[in-house]
Structure 1
Amino acid sequence: MRVLIVVLCFAAVAQATSWANLKPLHRVMHVKRGVPQYDRRIIGGENAVEGQFKYQVAVQVEGAGFCGGSLIYENYVLTAGHCVKGANLWTVTGGALNFLNLNEPGRVTVGTQNATLHENYNGLVINNDIAVIRLPAGFTGPNIAPVRLPSASTASDDLVGQTARVSGWGKSSDASITINPDLKFVDLTVITNEECETYYGSLVINANKLCVGTNGGIVSTCNGDSGGPLVITESDGEPTEVGIVSFGSSLGCESGYPAAFTRVANYIDWIAANTGYPVRP
């Protein structure tokens, strides 16, 4: 079946001054077999607890768009390229659980105009959907800490069959009109790119992406989750970010179609070149 693709980031946006109004920043773009849609949420997930996702950040885009992201190194945040494209101002919040609770202890918010979009970003087929945001100073707090990225030697690992965890404030159902105020997470299983290609087509799915099943739409990402981290737990028990929330089906987050992510391992050298991140062998 041919289907539209939806990028999961900007469409799940709420205004900075009135979170009751959904305000998309990007129009849906059409591609063969799909239409990329920038926005996603966590569907069927659980509420996070304090300190569970110290690397998770919220990214407000020019006071109107909303994305997720992850603190990866000192004062650098990793996010989706479509969360950066065409924008000039980002407000990053770390250490938060309820995004609307401005009085949460340990919560830190900073603004920046410094971001780097991948030079080969292609919004038409959602390729190289990756960017880094540079914060003006070190980002610290009791519930703030960077996440580990994959080692260079794992670039060829397809991760198929592994359980991965995604977190974010995205919408909790297709019927929702705003992001979810509470940080949520859900566990998903990585599927083959060949299976994902049957939904979105070979023009969109390539080695730079990885996909997860959504159990018929019971669990998934959604609008507002774009740019957020997908992590696996390695043998030492530590979380490692392997994916960046990128896109899903325009038929809806609960449609049962796979959720797609930028494959972080393929961009380790790019991240290191633009942040100074110390690459693991």
Structure 2
Amino acid sequence: MNALHQVLLAALFSALVFDATYGEEIIHGRKAKKNSLQYMASVQVNGKHKCGGFLIDASYVLTAAHCDDRDNMSVVLGAQDISRNNLVRYVVKSKHKHPSYKDPKTGNDIMLLKLSSSVKQGKFVKIVKIPSKDKPLKPKTKCQVAGWGKTEKQNSVNDLLVTDVSTVSLKDCQKEWAIVKIKPPPNVLCAGGYGTKSGACQGDSGGPLVCSGTAVGIVSFNFNGDCNYPNVPNVYTQISKFTTWIKKTIKKGASTHGEEISNGKKAKKNSLQYMASVQVNEKHKCGEFPIDASYVLTAAHCDEGMNARQQVLLAAVFSTLTYDATHGGEIINGKKAKKNSQKYMASVQVNGKHKCGGFLIDASYVLTAAQCDYRGSMSVVLGAHNISANPLIRYEVKDKHKCLSYKKVSTGDDIMLLELSKKVQQGKPVKIVKIPSKDKPVKPNTKCMVAGWGKTEKQNAVNDLMVTSVSTISDKDCKKKWNNTLPHNVLCAATKSGVCQGDFGGPLVCGGVAVGIASFSSNRDCKHPHVPDVYTQISKYITWIKKIIKKGA
């Protein structure tokens, strides 16, 4: 627990009259009408609702700065009932708190959340307007506030509630707060909780105060957690005071990291082969160029935000590795998967970007390779053949369970269970795949299938699920091909088709049963046949899988 958390914890028990406990409840509210308030966002941490928010740009949600959290943050859009399955969830790519923010009582309680991908507006999701310039709001203006926080009767609600409130003049607001010896911070406005039984309370801070179709305020705090209105006015961050900062942050997010190429032209094919891309969390950050078989040269400022593991992976691109398990296997000589096929397939993503394949074996668990464990916000996309499409059905990863014996790919035990934040509802686009019920060998020359979204023999990356047929190979022949260097508990398969870098973690499916997990191929050589592809044999881990799932239940 860091110092900030200790301070916040202590604050819960102190005699503070400010209450900004990560959200505001809607008191004396009503259930929102269907297809209304389409801008509302549920800001979630580890798949659980924490705060309200609202969509102001295709890539940005606005909320309160005190809603910030160190754990995995995501945003649910287009849902009034946040307890249902198949929620449209966007991973938070980056957080932008106002630089002057310290705590709600000193003001500047505003934060922009940049989403992992742009939101496509439609029937269920729409952007709400915000003020274009700083303009005061007249007292007694009729407005609305909405959220999923607790009410005067319930500790929490899953349905979006809305209530009407009226703005209060800043003079009256300051006068009422002076009675309890508190001075509201600058750049705020007040509404509800005073002269009315409606207002906000703990449970949904970050939500918008909307007047005549424009979001003018962000729910910040009330008096001492007391929701027995009327007492003193609720306090909102006044958005118009931060319009310049909002525009600047969004504009900066749309620009490149570093210098752009002005008035340039697309490079010719097979030219500039020395060029390389320095990336952080799979996102381009800087240019570079190799000067040695093991080194690349780039600018020093490109080191910002790059951890040691990412630096090592960058160097590894040029090293001579025998095993290649670069977090995914490409599908070589494959074809586009048929519609409504391979419904068990999962795209394991980190910070909203595809990292590995996986497959659904239980309503709450996806099976993948242990090598796919990465730092960052991990989620799983199900029910999508095209992972570039919006909206995607995304589930946060609640917990990761790697085989305890796993150390590295070359020593085996390359298997991991991902526990999802909530149960998956099977249907037309999503289904569970069977796995072996007991340890049983797979016969040589068994016809199987492997699928994934990794790069192919022609493309560096694909968004459409690709599938190809392969045949299993006997342990004896596989070991011979690999010069007896194989780890234990694996099986092999190959033809002119197979896997390569881009989608390890995906299943080897034979007769409708997932029998293997794509683990590694040889030295980045995707020109099959060469040596067989290697898969973790699932039947060897059935007892472990059952134990983990039973423990989770």
With structure 2 as the length reference, what TM-score do the two structures score? 0.41
Compared with structure 1, are the counterparts of its residues 76 and 124 closer, same or farther at alpha carbon in structure 2 (3 Å cutoff)? Answer: closer
Contact 1:222 1:253 in 2 (8 A): yes
1:187 matched residue in structure 2: 164
* Regions of 4+ moved over 6 Å: 29-33
Q: Deviations over 1:136-168 (max 9, x none)?
A: 11122431011001121xx23232110111111
Q: Distance in 2 between matches of 1:73 and 1:26?
A: 34
The amino acid of 1:245's aligned partner reads: V
Query: Which deviates further from its counterpart, 184-193 or 208-217?
Result: 208-217
- 1:79 is displaced (CA, Å) by 0.2
2:135 aligned with 1:142: no
Question: Superposition pairs for residues 82-121 of structure 1, below 5 Å?
Answer: 82-84=66-68, 86-103=69-86, 107-121=87-101
- 1:215 is displaced (CA, Å) by 5.3
The amino acid of 2:33's aligned partner reads: V
- 1:30 is displaced (CA, Å) by 9.2
- 1:50 is displaced (CA, Å) by 2.2
1:228 matched residue in structure 2: 207
SS at match of 1:114: strand
Q: CA RMSD in A?
A: 2.5
Q: Distance in 1 between matches of 2:9 and 2:85?
A: 27
SS at match of 1:122: coil
Compared with structure 1, are the counterparts of its residues 194 and 31 closer, same or farther at alpha carbon in structure 2 (3 Å cutoff)? Answer: farther
Q: Distance in 2 between matches of 1:102 and 1:27?
A: 36
Q: Distance in 2 between matches of 1:221 and 1:269?
A: 27
Question: Superposition pairs for residues 130-279 of structure 1, below 5 Å?
Answer: 130-140=110-120, 141-152=122-133, 155-173=134-152, 176-177=154-155, 179-201=156-178, 204-214=183-193, 218-233=197-212, 239-256=213-230, 257-276=232-251
Compared with structure 1, are the counterparts of its residues 268 and 110 closer, same or farther at alpha carbon in structure 2 (3 Å cutoff)? Answer: same
The amino acid of 1:249's aligned partner reads: F
Q: Distance in 1 between matches of 2:224 and 2:182?
A: 17
Between structure 1 and structure 2, the one with the greater Rg is 2
1:14 matched residue in structure 2: none
Q: Distance in 2 between matches of 1:158 and 1:29?
A: 33
Q: Distance in 2 between matches of 1:51 and 1:276?
A: 30
Contact 2:101 2:107 in 1 (8 A): yes
Identity %: 30
Q: Distance in 1 between matches of 2:145 and 2:114?
A: 23
Q: Deviations over 1:69-126 (max 9, x none)?
A: 0000111000001012x535311000111111124xxx41122241100000021624
With structure 1 as the length reference, what TM-score do the two structures score? 0.77
Q: Distance in 1 between matches of 2:177 and 2:101?
A: 18
The size of the alignment, in residue pairs, is 240
The amino acid of 2:175's aligned partner reads: T
Structure with greater strand share of residues: 2
2:63 aligned with 1:71: no
Compared with structure 1, are the counterparts of its residues 63 and 27 closer, same or farther at alpha carbon in structure 2 (3 Å cutoff)? Answer: farther
Q: Distance in 1 between matches of 2:118 and 2:64?
A: 21
Higher relative contact order (CA 8 A, sep 6+): 1
Query: Which deviates further from its counterpart, 107-116 or 142-151?
Result: 107-116
Q: Distance in 2 between matches of 1:100 and 1:58?
A: 11
Query: Which deviates further from its counterpart, 30-39 or 249-258?
Result: 30-39
Contact 2:52 2:147 in 1 (8 A): yes
The amino acid of 1:225's aligned partner reads: D
Contact 2:19 2:225 in 1 (8 A): no
- 1:214 is displaced (CA, Å) by 2.5
Q: Distance in 2 between matches of 1:48 and 1:185?
A: 6
Q: Deviations over 1:45-70 (max 9, x none)?
A: 11112221110010013445610000
Contact 1:56 1:94 in 2 (8 A): yes
Decide which of 9, 18, 28 is 1:35's aligned counterpart. Answer: 18
Contact 2:38 2:126 in 1 (8 A): yes
Q: Which runs of 5+ in 1 are unaligned?
A: 1-24, 234-238
- 1:176 is displaced (CA, Å) by 3.1
Q: Deviations over 1:182-224 (max 9, x none)?
A: 1011110100122222343486424410111335562111222
Contact 2:96 2:113 in 1 (8 A): yes
